[in-house]
């Protein structure tokens, strides 16, 4: 029986995961089937159980089910426990192993693909949701000088500071608290890339030579990236590399072989214009 994998979400028709994992399998000589599963909003657990019963070996998990995936995991790995959310599941007998590779995918894209070392850098994350939660520890492991988190609700950002206080010192607050500060790497982990809304970033937040990174992918120049360009930022990127890198981590976890990400990133990249 062929090994079966899938991505599960709602909606899911837009997902690039079947294409990505199909290309990975072809490049590494792996024989597997990878499909997309759209679960009802109230039927995540039942859909997972049905997939397992039909011989499913693993799942990528996307919105809005990352928290529910954490709840059903019997063996959440450290990455999942720290994030409180899951983006990859592996089934071994009665066990449901869980990982969160989003933050690692982000770090790998910034350092390996974009060539920007995070060591000693001042890093700003805009937004205090699940994407930020998953990125904090992988970013901290690279020894940046500062990790700051800004959010429209400062209290939500302060909540992350409290949650991660035993692991990393975070600078948190609202966007107004960034006045007078500048950062070498500025990450947009909010949903503004989808809503076409701008962030209330103060003047000077982008340091000379900064990288502006939009976690949303395939949307061209989002308002955040336009803000960065207007501030004189030359180095900009969207999240297509993060998407492919986190997929590569899951593929290696499932199959024991690391795929080359560069050809897949090149195929999926949309010009930032």
CA contacts within 13 A on the Cβ side of 230? 11
* Residues in contact with 238: Cβ distance below 8 Å, sequence separation at least 6, in sequence order: 193, 213, 214, 215, 216, 217, 218, 219, 222, 225, 270, 272
Q: Is residue 66 among the annotated active site residues?
A: yes
**Annotated catalytic residue within 16, 66, 90, 121:** 66
Residues carrying an active site annotation = 66
């Amino acid at each position: 029986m062929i090994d079966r994998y899938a991505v599960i979400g709602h909606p899911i028709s837009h997902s690039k995961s079947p294409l990505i994992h199909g290309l990975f399998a072809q490049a590494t000589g792996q024989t597997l089937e990878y499909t997309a599963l759209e679960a009802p909003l109230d039927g995540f657990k039942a859909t997972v159980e049905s997939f397992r019963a039909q011989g499913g070996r693993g799942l990528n998990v996307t919105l809005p089910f990352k928290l529910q995936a954490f709840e059903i995991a019997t063996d959440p790995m450290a990455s999942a426990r720290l994030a409180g959310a899951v983006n990859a599941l592996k089934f071994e007998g009665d066990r449901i192993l869980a990982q969160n590779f989003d933050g690692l995918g982000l770090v790998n894209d910034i350092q390996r693909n974009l060539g920007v070392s995070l060591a000693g850098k001042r890093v700003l994350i805009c937004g205090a949701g699940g994407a930020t939660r998953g990125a904090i520890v992988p970013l901290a492991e690279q020894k940046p000088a500062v990790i700051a988190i800004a959010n429209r609700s400062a209290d939500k950002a302060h909540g992350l500071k409290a949650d991660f206080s035993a692991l990393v010192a975070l600078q948190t607050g609202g966007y107004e608290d960034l006045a007078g500060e500048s950062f070498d790497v500025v990450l947009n982990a909010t949903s503004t890339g989808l809503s076409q809304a701008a962030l209330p970033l103060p003047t000077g937040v982008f340091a000379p030579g900064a990288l502006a990174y939009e976690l949303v992918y395939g949307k061209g120049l989002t308002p955040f990236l336009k803000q960065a360009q207007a501030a004189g930022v030359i180095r900009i990127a969207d999240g297509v590399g993060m998407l492919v890198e986190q997929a590569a981590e899951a593929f290696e976890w499932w199959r024991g072989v690391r795929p080359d990400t560069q050809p897949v990133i090149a195929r999926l990249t949309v010009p930032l214009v």
